């Protein structure tokens, strides 16, 4: 049963805006209604997430960050999507399972974590058995994550910024690093070391993503160093080189370009110097824009 009191003075995410989301839009641009933009089979996640059969993604609309470079800005910032009931969300999970996907992958779920919890319970009561992935920007309340304990199998957070000044400039949030790292530690406490099946598909565990930003290689190095020092080989790390300027980033000279081969080589060498055992580094591509999903709603 959904506890609406938690949405009447919302403190679900670190903004703790206190908005009555049953009547108004919160800091995350969300109400008490779940809003999604797409559910589909996605084959372009990390190999241990997509596997052979693909990941059953559910893209949620709206976001508690305001990233100027968001590749999914049409849904995260402009709110494209449609509202659905919690029971319908549970049905979507079961439909995804029927397709034979490797897992259910909640993309940007933070604003709806309370509703998602209820939907998972309903879906499990009706036969949902595959792993559930919580795919988040990392700006999470530890208290909210604890509400999800036992329901999430795989946590897939970002660690975007080591320098809080970048979080403020590019995502309009305070204290990103402290908040995200505390959240990541809680995620690890819940799910522990990665467990993969015989086909190399993750069934449980934590994988942290980091997107390399142009002109900010030191930020990436610091994030990787923190992950190495705090987790060593106990988690997977995914280093992403897919950045391209979109949304408001087109107007910001510091990040109005893709990575250069020199930047990529520098961070690649640093990754190997750290001797990080488990993880992925994305190749430097040319057509990253083509991988942005086409939204249904």
Q: Provide the CATH number for the domain around residue 262.
A: 3.20.20.70
The predicted structure's pLDDT at residue 292: 79
The range of the structural domain enclosing residue 237 comes to 28-291
| pLDDT tens digit sequence for 154-167 | 999 999 999 999 99
Arithmetic mean of pLDDT, 250-265: 96
Residue 130 lies inside a defined structural domain of this protein: yes
Residue 17 lies inside a defined structural domain of this protein: no
36-69: buried (b, 16+ CB within 10 Å) or exposed (e) per residue?
A: bbbbbbbeebbebbbbebbbbbbbbbbbbbbbbb
Handedness of CA 199, 203, 206, 211 (dihedral sign): positive
The pTM of this model reads 0.96
Q: Which helix (H) or strand (E) holds 228?
A: helix 217-231
| pLDDT tens digit sequence for 124-148 | 999 999 999 999 999 999 999 999 9
Say how many residues make up the chain. 297
Residue 40 lies inside a defined structural domain of this protein: yes
The predicted structure's pLDDT at residue 53: 97
DSSP 243-271: ----GGGGG-GGGSS---HHHHHHHHHHH
Count of domains in the chain?
A: 1
Residue 18 lies inside a defined structural domain of this protein: no
Residue 23 lies inside a defined structural domain of this protein: no
User: Is a pLDDT exceeding 90 seen at residue 117?
Assistant: yes
First to last CA, the chain: 27
Residue 89 lies inside a defined structural domain of this protein: yes
Cβ atoms 278, 194 nearer than 8 A: yes
Residue 250 lies inside a defined structural domain of this protein: yes
């Amino acid at each position: 049963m959904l506890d609406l009191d938690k949405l009447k003075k919302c403190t679900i995410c670190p903004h703790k805006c206190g908005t009555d989301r049953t009547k108004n839009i919160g800091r995350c641009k969300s109400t008490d209604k779940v809003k999604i933009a797409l559910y589909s089979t996605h084959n372009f996640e990390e190999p241990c997430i997509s596997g052979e059969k693909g990941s059953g993604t559910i893209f949620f609309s709206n976001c508690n960050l305001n990233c100027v470079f968001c590749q999914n800005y049409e849904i995260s910032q402009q709110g494209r999507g449609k509202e659905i009931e919690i029971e319908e969300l549970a049905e979507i999970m079961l439909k995804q399972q029927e397709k034979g996907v490797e897992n259910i992958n909640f993309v940007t779920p933070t604003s709806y974590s309370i509703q998602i919890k209820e939907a998972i319970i309903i879906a499990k009561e009706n036969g949902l058995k595959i792993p559930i992935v919580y795919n988040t920007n990392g700006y999470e309340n530890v208290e909210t994550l604890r509400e999800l304990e036992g329901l999430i199998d795989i946590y897939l957070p970002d660690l975007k910024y080591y320098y809080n000044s970048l979080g403020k400039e590019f995502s309009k949030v305070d204290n990103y690093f402290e908040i995200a790292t505390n959240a990541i530690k809680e995620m690890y406490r819940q799910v522990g070391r990665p467990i993969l099946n015989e086909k190399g598909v993750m069934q449980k565990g934590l994988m942290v993503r980091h997107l390399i930003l142009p002109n900010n290689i030191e930020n990436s190095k610091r994030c990787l160093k923190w992950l190495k020092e705090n987790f060593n080989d106990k988690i997977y790390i995914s280093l992403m080189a897919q950045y391209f300027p979109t949304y408001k980033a087109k107007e910001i000279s510091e990040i109005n370009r893709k990575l250069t081969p020199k930047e990529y080589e520098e961070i690649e060498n640093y990754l190997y110097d750290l001797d990080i055992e488990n993880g992925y580094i994305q190749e430097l591509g040319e057509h990253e824009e083509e991988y942005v999903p086409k939204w249904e709603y």
